[in-house]
Structure 1
Amino acid sequence: MKLQVVLVLCAAFALSLQAPSSQECWCELQSEEKAFPHAKLSMVERNVSDCNRNVTPKKTLELESLVLGLDRRIALLHRDISVLEKEDDGELYGVLSLYVVENEMVEIQQMMDKLNRTMKGDQHLTADVTQQLTELQAEMGEMETFDTMELVKGRLATQLLKKDLDNCRKSLNATVPPTQPPQGTCPHGQLVNVTGPQVFTGGEYPGSYLYGAWGRDPEPEPGKENWYWLVMMTVSNRYSNYVRLYSSLSALIVGKSVPGNIIIHSSNPTTNTIQGPNNVLYRGALYYNCYNQLDVCRFNLTTNTVSSFELPKGTRYNSKGNFCNLDECYPYTDLDLATDESGVWVTYTTNQDFGNLVLSKVEEGEPPRLGQTWHTAVYKQALTNTFMACGVLYGTRFVSKDVEEIFYALDTVTGKERFNVGIFMNKMAPNIQALNYSPVDRMLHAYSNSNMVSYKVWFE
């Protein structure tokens, strides 16, 4: 009996496998949501990448370089025409000069054509980018409608909350930040170009004092934020006994000095007066090479007091370790004081370094003292000047009477030296006797053959 029941059940199961069931259930799922446009999102990403690639700071630098070059060539053309007007040589050299002027005008026309093409290209680029940004904004707004469950918004809100939480934790465990940026780090990025000049003036005493220095105090006293200072070597192009102040750049240009001279000593030269042109003003005090000493002096303009500290034994001074070009050395430029975002620095050379440049940080105090020191591989007399910017030492050299090159750099954080910086400066006179960087306005102030010249410094 049991065997018969099992056989019946097996037969029924086999039939159910062979014959389709009439009671099958189908369920069709229909979504009212639109399919997400992945292709459109990829296209938006490509367009954003194209915008980032096409719109770069190099476009601005290229345009400014063309304008600067055109300005310089026009000035040279004007000079050559002035020479031609004065010539009286029986029409022989006058014809040759005309050919020179003609060639210069052709080159100027070519530069103007290139400038026009560049400007038109930039105008088209600006219009295209504006249109693309408008379209991208509309497309992104359209794609936001696909986030019906607000997943993306939820993620953004979560990220913001996490960021706030991290900031809160950091603030609880934070130490007091330093008052000055650390050496060698620059919030602007790497120095990439110097353009100008933006200011060129003979000032109050045009052509009278060949050597000197000028600039701005990086950390001025309240009420003196717009002041400029000027130190001229008034005796033998070597010595001075006062610093001259101007309430603004326009006052300096027109030669209206207020409050006038701040006298270090009535005699010039004498103990603790200024020797050499490479001076700087920082926090209301002038730093300079003390007369006839291997010391750095600091003259407080408010209290009229002088404090000093000695450089290492063997430091070359009294015009034995100068800056030089191929034809001459600049007398009494043994010490070069500089300022940047972190304070005051001094460059010099010693007998122990065999004439190579030495850099030291000046630590404030009463009296000030010499801080950390770097020994470089660049020969000091191969340089025409140095300046500091964001904890990096830069050195210049003479290329021609019209061009100076920033060719050397030392990063005080990594200790790495570079000899191929390759930034060129257009000069208004053959020599630059002093060079100071101002972190206040990111300008480079040069004293050049009694002229005051300033350049715009560009960071990456």
Structure 2
Amino acid sequence: MCAWLRGHVRPRPGVCTKHVLTLFLSPPSPCLFPSLPAVSKWDLESFDYQELKSELTEVPASSIFEERPSPSHPATGDMATGCGELVWVGEPVTFHKAETVAGKYGVWMRDPEPLPPYTRETTWRVDAIGTDIRQVFEYDNIDQFMKGYPSKVHILPRSMESTGAIVYRGSLYFQRRNSRMVAKYDLKTEVITVQKDIPSAGYHGQFPYSWGGYTDIDLAVDEMGLWVTYSTDKAKGAIVLSKLDPETLEVEQTWETNIRKQAVANSFMICGTLYTISSYSAPDATVNFAYHTATSTSKPLSIHFKNRYGYSSMVDYNPTERKLFTWDNFNMVTYDIRLSMI
């Protein structure tokens, strides 16, 4: 085995039993990436992540929610063709399971509007536990992803934080570690092209979702473009939602909702509407609230959502595939959805 692999890759059974801790969730074939730069080491005692205890901090959002219009903002505009309101979420379908402790939670995604050389089958994955999260695993297609062999590993020039990253129009958008700055990383040229602070956003554990994980800043994509959810001191922990220009990362429009961020487990955008999930651990959770940017109003929902593996740390929507992508306790999962016709 080449020297680069020793201490960095967890070998397949029968090859080696040492160095079980690894920064790779699924090992590439030996010496596949000998030119990768060194990655900082860490151990079980130095994991830089935050988990809030479900028993103590996961509060039903209904206990703090008051349904009323938010302060007036102009509507975002007409919804995309085929848009509607979420009415059903299907059963979870598992595509892959992480093999090491680094994969307890993370983020995986496909680009709804890919640019060459990427396609709608290209898949990316990031393991979100570590003191210096920089590795982005790229897979040419879903079969390669399911087998666990990346075609390429990107090393980000700046560390990212948490599970709020997304891929859109050939770039990875992510929150820089321990800051309110969002960066745009061009996956083809492998450089950060834009980075911008989200004004007044809390970060690094100030306003996370109920499960923790420094999920203060969460990026999303839907039929209408690029979004970011967060909170501020002024909003007193309520979810603030902003529409971003994907080229410049400038804030185009902002809404302050009535939904307390730490009282919901996660959120995602569909057709300009923000949806939240009641629990990251309950087997029978629900999509429990919707916030419509077109009317600046919220309403409670009760749409079944199953946390099959008991720890959903990432939920995102892919508008091209019309599926939810989630990371549930080491498992990479999708859900079919159904929208009402409007």
TM-score category by the smaller chain? 0.7 to 0.9
Q: Secondary structure at the match of 1:318?
A: coil
Matches within 5 A, 1:120-159: none
Question: What is the CA deviation profile of residues 223-258 of structure 1, one whole-angstrom value per residue up to 9, with x for unaligned ones?
Answer: 52211111112415xx51021111122211111212
Distance in 2 (CA, whole Å) between partners of 1:387 and 1:439 is 11
Q: Does 1:426 align with 2:306?
A: yes
Question: What is the CA deviation profile of residues 44-67 of structure 1, one whole-angstrom value per residue up to 9, with x for unaligned ones?
Answer: xxxxxxxxxxxxxxxxxxxxxxxx
Q: Secondary structure at the match of 1:281?
A: strand
Aligned to 2:159: 273
The share of aligned pairs that are identical, in percent, is 30
Q: Work out whether residues 281 and 307 of structure 2, in 8 Å CA contact, stay in contact via their aligned partners in 1.
A: no
The CA RMSD over aligned residues, in Å, is: 1.9
Aligned to 1:389: 270
Aligned to 2:114: 220
Aligned to 1:295: 181
Aligned to 2:59: none
Aligned to 1:311: 198
Distance in 1 (CA, whole Å) between partners of 2:130 and 2:149 is 22
Q: Secondary structure at the match of 2:143?
A: helix
Aligned to 1:409: 290
Q: Work out whether residues 184 and 412 of structure 1, in 8 Å CA contact, stay in contact via their aligned partners in 2.
A: no
Distance 1:369 1:399, change over 3 A: closer
Q: Does 1:358 align with 2:247?
A: no
Question: What is the CA deviation profile of residues 338-357 of structure 1, one whole-angstrom value per residue up to 9, with x for unaligned ones?
Answer: 11112110000000001100
Distance 1:353 1:183, change over 3 A: farther
Q: Secondary structure at the match of 2:312?
A: coil
Q: List alignment gaps of at least 5 residues for structure 2.
A: 1-75
Distance in 2 (CA, whole Å) between partners of 1:283 and 1:380 is 28
Question: Counting helix residues as a fraction of each chain, which structure ranks higher?
Answer: 1
Q: Does 1:190 align with 2:85?
A: yes
Q: Work out whether residues 435 and 446 of structure 1, in 8 Å CA contact, stay in contact via their aligned partners in 2.
A: yes
Distance in 2 (CA, whole Å) between partners of 1:343 and 1:427 is 27
Aligned to 1:244: 137
Distance 1:323 1:248, change over 3 A: same
Q: CA deviation at 1:185?
A: 4.7
Aligned residues: 263
Q: CA deviation at 1:188?
A: 4.1
Name which structure has the greater RCO, CA cutoff 8 Å, separation 6+: 2
Q: Secondary structure at the match of 1:320?
A: coil
Q: Does 1:379 align with 2:273?
A: no
- Kindly provide the amino acid, as one letter, of the partner of residue 217 in structure 1: D
Which of 340, 349, 353 is residue 222 of structure 2 equivalent to? 340
Distance in 2 (CA, whole Å) between partners of 1:235 and 1:400 is 22
- Kindly provide the amino acid, as one letter, of the partner of residue 219 in structure 1: E
Distance in 2 (CA, whole Å) between partners of 1:215 and 1:368 is 20
Report runs of 4+ in structure 1 exceeding 4 Å deviation. 181-186
